[in-house]
Amino acid sequence: MRWLERLFGRNEAADDDVAATMAQATAAVERDDHAAALALWGPLAHAGVGRAQNNIGACFAEGLGVERDPALALRWLSLSAESGDPVGQRNLAALHFKGEGIEQSDAEAMRLYRLAAEQGDAPAQDMLSWMLLERGDLADRTEALRWAQAAAEAGVATSMTRLGMMHHDALGVERDADTAAQWWQRGMAAGDPDSEAMLGAATLLGQGVPADAKRALALLLGAEGKGSPLAAPFIKAARAAISPAESAP
């Protein structure tokens, strides 16, 4: 359900009646009854509740409880974003980034991600950090570091991995192999296989952690098994670095 939490966000309605209805809708989502959730969100969305508007837009974007409809997703997410809802801003940014139901625009996506990030939305902070880092400008790297740190401290594993990369490659910060390895350890603990892969590479090379080819191979194989494409380039070298005595059961 974690991706749904990111899609819909937490319910933060101030009015007791609205909060109660939103809680009922959340319970419906948790039992995979999106049609029931939509019936609850509908009146609230028409009354201008931004989070309900976001949730309806997200359902149309993903085809949850309704037929997938990018045009209706755009309509509802635009209303939510205009109301100032950070999750609506973030989900609308995703439509602009992907070009779904609207012309693709990195600039508009970044503007909306920044609005959501400034309100403390951690997934938006993570995505904004990635987009800024991809642009490659020095000033962007500094801002990318700031947003990655904010998202990582909120528990976003991909930002932990990115911080490790930035400290390892001196992107917006001085190179620090120890700090890089610490962030990859945190990212791996938070469930990101890319962090596990990079920690495996660091362990193979002895960068920020003691060199240990056998442990490195275990980390790399674990990361590859979880779907990380970053592990494969190091696996052959890790196998070659293990002595016959170490490889014996």
Query: What does the pLDDT average to over 41-51?
Result: 96
61-65, 82-86, 191-195, 242-246: least confidently modelled range: 242-246
- Give the N- to C-terminal CA distance of the chain in Å, as an integer: 39
For residue 7, give its domain range.
1-104
CB 124 within 8 A of CB 113: yes
pLDDT digits (tens, 9 = 90+) for 151-194: 999 999 999 999 999 999 999 999 999 999 999 999 999 999 99
Q: What is the pLDDT of residue 15?
A: 82
Residue 17 falls within a domain, yes or no? Answer: yes
Residue 32 above 70 pLDDT? yes
pLDDT digits (tens, 9 = 90+) for 71-108: 999 999 999 999 999 999 999 999 999 999 999 999 99
* Closest C-alpha among 85, 62, 81 to residue 73: 62
Number of H helices, E strands in the chain: 15, 0
* Closest C-alpha among 27, 22, 21, 24 to residue 11: 22
Residue 246 falls within a domain, yes or no? Answer: no
CB 9 within 8 A of CB 54: yes
Residue 55 falls within a domain, yes or no? Answer: yes
Residue 22 falls within a domain, yes or no? Answer: yes
* pTM exceeds cut of 0.85: yes
Which CATH number belongs to the domain containing residue 79 in this structure?
1.25.40.10
Ramachandran angles phi, psi of 206, nearest 5°: 70, 40
Residue 12 above 80 pLDDT? no
Q: Give me the sign of the Cα torsion angle 225, 226, 227, 228.
A: negative
DSSP 137-199: -HHHHHHHHHHHHHHHHTT-HHHHHHHHHHHHHTSSS---HHHHHHHHHHHHHTT-HHHHHHH
Residue 79 falls within a domain, yes or no? Answer: yes
Label residues 132-156 b or e (16+ Cβ within 10 Å = b): bbeeeeeebbebbbbbbbbbbeeeb
Residue 131 falls within a domain, yes or no? Answer: no
Residue 71 falls within a domain, yes or no? Answer: yes
Residue 87 falls within a domain, yes or no? Answer: yes
Question: How many Å apart are CA 117 and CA 139, to the nearest integer?
Answer: 18
* Domain count of the fold of the chain: 1
Q: Give me the sign of the Cα torsion angle 62, 64, 69, 74.
A: negative
Alpha carbon 33 to chain centroid distance?
25
